[in-house]
Structure 1
Amino acid sequence: MKRFEVVTRIGAPPAAVFDLSLDVDLHTASMAGSGERIVGGVRAGRMVLGDTVTWQARHFGVRWRMTSRITAYERPGHFVDEQVTGPFARWHHAHWFEPDGRGGTVMRDVVEFAAPLGWLGAGVEAVALDRYMRGLIAARNVHVRECAERGD
C-alpha cells in the first residue's frame, strides 16, 4: 500500500475551498485530460456525507470506473472519499483544510491506495502508479486553487 501527501496553499478561506473540493462539476473539469465523466450517483453540484459518485475515465490507455463515497464530513475542515468499487484494492483520500492565518487555506490531501493483483500490483505501484496519482492530485489542486482564488 502507498501513502502520499500533497499540500497546496490557496488564497481563499477554508469554507470556500472545502465547498469547491466537493463539487463534482469542478472535479470533472479538473480531470478533462483523462476524459473523466460522471456515469452514476451525484451528477451535479456539491457532495455531502454518504453521497456516492461513479466516475469513468481513461488512464494508461485503459477505461476505468470507480465509485466513491463521502465517508467523513466536517465542514469546513475535513472530508474523506473512499472507493466503494473500482480499480484499486484500496482507495482512501482524506482532504484537510486549515486556515493559513492570512485569510487563505492550507489544503492537505492524504491519499492511501493499493493496486489490485497482489505482487504484480505492488510492482506497478512502485514503478508508475504512485507518481501518476500524485500528479493527478496536484493537477486537480491547481484547478481548485485557480477557481477558489477567482471566487468561482
Structure 2
Amino acid sequence: MTRFEVVTAISAPPPRVFDLSLEVGIHTASMSASGERVIGGVSSGQMKLGDTVTWQATHFGLRWRMTSGITVHNPPGHFVDEQVSGPFKRWYHAHYFEPDGSGGTVMRDVIDFTAPLGPLGRIAERLVLNRYMPTLIRTRNNHLKAAAEG
C-alpha cells in the first residue's frame, strides 16, 4: 500500500473550495489531459454522500474505468471518495479543507492506494505510481485552485 499527501494553499474560503471539489465538471476539466469523462452515475453538478460516478480516462496509453463513491461528507471540512470498482485493489482519498487564518484554505489530500496483482503491483507502485499519482493530484488541485480563486 502507498500513502501520500498533497497540500495546496488556495485563496478562497473553505466552503467554496469544498463545494468546487465535489463538482463533476471541475474534476473532468482538471483531468482533460487524460481525456477523463463520466460514463456512469452522477454526470453533472455537485456530488453528495452516497453518490457514485464512473470515470473513464487514458493513462499509460491504456483506457481505464473507475467507479468511485462519496463515503464521508462533512461540509465544509472533509469528504472521502473511495473506489467501488476499478483498476486499484484499494483507493481511498480523504479531502480536508482548513481555514488558513487569512480567509483562504489549506486543502490537504490524503491518498491510500494499493495496485492490483500482488508483487507485480508493488513493483508498479515503486517504479511508476508513487510519482505519477501525486503529480496527477497536483494537476487536479492546480485546476481547482484557479477555479476557486477566479
Whether TM-score is above 0.5 comes out as: yes
Is residue 132 from structure 1 mapped to residue 127 from structure 2 by the alignment?
A: no
SS in 1 for 2:111: strand
Q: Separation in 1 of the partners of 2:138 and 2:101?
A: 23
Q: CA RMSD in A?
A: 0.3
Question: 1:110 Cα deviation (Å)?
Answer: 0.1
1:43 counterpart letter in structure 2:
S
Equivalent residue, structure 1, for 2:4: 4
Deviation at 1:57, TM superposition (A): 0.3
How much does 1:130 deviate?
A: 1.2
For residue 66 of structure 1, give the secondary structure of its aligned residue in structure 2: strand
TM-score scaled by length of structure 2: 1.00
**Counterpart in 1 of 2:51?**
51
Pairing of 1:1-150 with structure 2 (within 5 A): 1-150=1-150
Q: Which amino acid aligns with 1:123?
A: I
Supply the distance in 2 between the matched residues of 1:79 and 1:131 (Cα, whole angstroms).
Answer: 24
Unpaired segments of 5 or more residues in structure 1?
none
CA drift of 1:43 comes to 0.3
- Identical columns (%): 67
**Matches of 1:133 and 1:46, distance apart in 2:** 24
Q: Deviations over 1:113-140 (max 9, x none)?
A: 0000000000000000111000000000
Structure 2 unmatched ranges of 5 or more: none
